[in-house]
């Protein structure tokens, strides 16, 4: 079924492709700053896509014999249309092969599958802030389902529901830091600040850089720094720490990070670590001194933590990434 598209081709994934698909999924997780959440292995891919009861299917894009992109989809069902639909779970093109029309070619092939097989619709999700992606989707005739909100369960809540048990919600870190003395004293609203942070390392571990873009009503500030021997996660943490510590007065902060490690750490995992004496049970907590510093830095402010997809067209996230890379290049050049 391979169809030549310029200097690449699109084909269906077949048994034997599981290692390449697992590799691309791992690259996607790394790209989105969440490698620790990726559980895909060639064995699991083989079982789920090529086993007796496939849970989904994949399309692959090849360029000069190399698999450079994939689209993974499965079937949904519309009760009103009384027809199956195609749900696109993930589409990923490795960065060095972008702007060649590969993503568009994968979308066209998915649409052709829908028409050929009589599916009623084709659906996927998109982050609300990603205006670039939304504009591209509208160009091909897609419309947002603005009146709908996706709900999700995974892990323990599913097990509890299946067993008929009430959900035991674990204590989570508050979405906002405690109100400051100034707020309690009724001194009026706090200054509002929007922050975009990024951190990176090349290689990881290796030379790293961090950056933060701070914006208020009439001011803009860019911060950046780096270390010769560090890790990606340490740089992501230091970016958020440096931004919050830079604020001299208590503020209402909306902080955007493309690191799931930082976002989930501060909003989900931190209370457990603190109850366990700043540890992960029997295991020591990595970067503990930075987590303590971040915990202290946020206490002066009311912080809303937001996750943003990296390298996806968000102007300020891209600027933070650019500043971060400049620091890495500076340190590497200095060492020569």
Enzyme catalytic residues = 198-199, 236, 258, 311, 321
DSSP string, 27-92: HHHHHTT-GGG----HHHHHHHHHSSS-S-EEEEEEETTEEEEEEEEEEEEETTTTEEEEEEEEEE
* H helix or E strand, kind and range, residue 320: helix 315-335
Extended strands (E) in the chain: 3-5, 8-12, 57-63, 66-78, 83-93, 122-123, 192-202, 206-215, 220-230, 252-257, 279-280, 283-284, 302-307
Chain centroid, CA 119 distance in Å: 30
Burial 89-114 (b: 16+ CB within 10 A, else e): eebbbbeeeeebebbebbbebbeebb
* H helix or E strand, kind and range, residue 236: helix 232-246
Tracing tokens 């994949």 back to the chain, one arrives at: 58
């Amino acid at each position: 079924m391979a169809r030549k598209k310029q200097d690449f081709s699109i084909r269906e994934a077949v048994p034997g492709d599981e290692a390449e698909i697992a590799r691309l999924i791992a690259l996607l997780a790394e790209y989105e700053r969440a490698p620790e959440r990726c559980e895909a292995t060639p064995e699991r891919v083989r079982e789920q896509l090529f086993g007796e009861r496939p849970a989904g299917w994949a399309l692959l894009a090849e360029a000069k014999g190399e698999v450079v992109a994939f689209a993974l989809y499965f079937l949904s069902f519309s009760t009103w249309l009384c027809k199956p639909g195609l749900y696109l779970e993930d589409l990923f093109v490795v960065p060095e092969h972008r702007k060649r029309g590969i993503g568009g070619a994968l979308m066209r092939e998915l649409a052709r599958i829908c028409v050929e097989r009589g599916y009623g619709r084709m659906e996927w999700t998109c982050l609300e802030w990603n205006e670039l992606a939304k504009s591209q989707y509208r160009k091909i005739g897609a419309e947002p389902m603005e009146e709908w909100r996706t709900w999700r369960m995974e892990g323990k809540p599913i097990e509890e529901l299946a067993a008929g048990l009430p959900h035991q919600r674990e204590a989570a870190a508050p979405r906002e830091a405690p109100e400051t003395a100034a707020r309690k004293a009724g001194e009026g609203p706090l200054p509002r600040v929007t922050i975009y942070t990024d951190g990176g390392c090349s290689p990881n571990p290796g030379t790293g850089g961090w950056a933060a873009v701070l914006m208020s009503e009439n001011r803009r500030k860019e911060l950046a720094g780096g270390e010769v021997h560090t890790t990606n996660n340490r740089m992501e943490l230091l970016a958020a720490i440096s931004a919050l510590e830079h604020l001299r007065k208590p503020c209402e902060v909306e902080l955007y990070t493309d690191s799931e490690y930082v976002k989930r750490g501060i909003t989900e995992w931190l209370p457990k670590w603190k109850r366990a004496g700043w540890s992960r049970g029997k295991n020591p907590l990595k970067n503990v001194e930075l987590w303590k510093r971040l915990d202290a830095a946020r206490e002066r402010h009311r912080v809303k933590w937001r996750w943003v997809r990296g390298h996806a067209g968000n102007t300020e996230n891209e600027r933070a990434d650019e500043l971060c890379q400049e620091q890495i290049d500076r340190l590497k050049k200095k060492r020569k």
